[in-house]
Amino acid sequence: MIEANKTAVYTKFARIMAKYTLSWYLDKVLVQFPDAELDTGLPVLMVINHPNWLDIELSLFLVEDLLGLDYYMMGNMNILEKRPFMRKYGVFGVKEDDPFAVGRALKYTATLLHGHADRCAVIFPQGDMIRSTERPIHIKPGAAQIARLVKQVTILPVAIHYDHFRTKLPEAFIRIGEPLNFREGLPPTRILTETIRQRMEQELDMMQSDVYALKVNDHANKYKYDIVIKRFIKQLLHK
């Protein structure tokens, strides 16, 4: 595996570049936050579906800018071999067809999180890019295995869906589910994996129901974070 080599300066630069990239490909990003607040005493393991290559930029924006947490992300080693600079803002890579490398990556992720309540590790448990409409969703057990290694952790299910209906560019919809806080007594890997899978699928179903029924604008209190990214870029350039 390839470990992260995160630096504060490059992370700040990457956050700006992520917004810049998103501004070219998306009209806006709408985020629904959960009613329950995160347990600030626990590190966060964020599990996200993976429908598009922009998910990496969105996850960085979500973790660092909206949640204010220290970002790390598990990716495919092939990506880091092509883009080694991603290590400098917290991305680490694993060769998925090597079981020994996967085991080391899971332990490495747990080490990053253990005792660091200000950190969030992002993983895409589906393992590959898959349409957000595909059902049922299938995930690998890595997230549950990491959680069991960390022992005290918040698992945060997040759903991402892109829709191209009323705008020239697609809109990105993000729904952050209710956090699963574990301070002791995590269930077995198989049961926890199924719980995570169900929660991810549930968040996707609920969000897509709102999007397809055109209820997002009608329920602005639900999707209360509405950032027009191009507006941010224009403001940035005029400063």
What is the domain-level CATH number for residue 103? 3.40.1130.10
Q: In the chain, how many domains are there?
A: 1
Mean pLDDT to the nearest integer, 135-143? 96
Domain residues for the domain of 41 are 8-237
Instruction: Give tens-digit pLDDT for 62-84.
Output: 999 889 999 999 998 888 888 99
Considering the domain boundaries, does residue 59 fall inside one?
yes
- pTM of this structure: 0.90
* Cα distance between residue 76 and residue 112, in whole Å: 18
Query: Token pair 């991402």 is at which residue?
Result: 160
Distance between the two ends of the chain, CA-based, in angstroms?
Answer: 41
Q: What gap in Å lies between CA 36 and CA 21, rounded to an integer?
A: 31
Question: Does 3 reside within a domain?
Answer: no
Q: Is residue 24 part of a domain?
A: yes
- To the nearest whole percent, how much of the chain has pLDDT over 70? 89
Confidence of residue 24 (pLDDT cuts 50, 70, 90): confident
Q: Is residue 2 assigned to a domain?
A: no
Q: What is the structure's pLDDT at 166? A: 72
Residue 30: which of 154, 165, 124 has the closest Cα? 165
Please check whether residue 1 lies inside any domain of the structure. Answer: no
Does pLDDT of 85 surpass 50?
yes
Position 34 pLDDT exceeds 50? yes
Encoded tokens for 238: 């005029």
Among all chains, which residue has been given the structure tokens 């589906």? 126
Of 121-135, 141-155, 170-184, 223-237, which range is least confident? 223-237
**Residue 43 CB partners (closer than 8 Å, separation 6+):** 113, 114, 115, 116, 117, 118, 119, 120, 121, 150, 152, 153, 154
pLDDT above 50 (res 239): no
Would strands 119-123 and 171-176 be described as parallel, antiparallel, or unpaired? unpaired
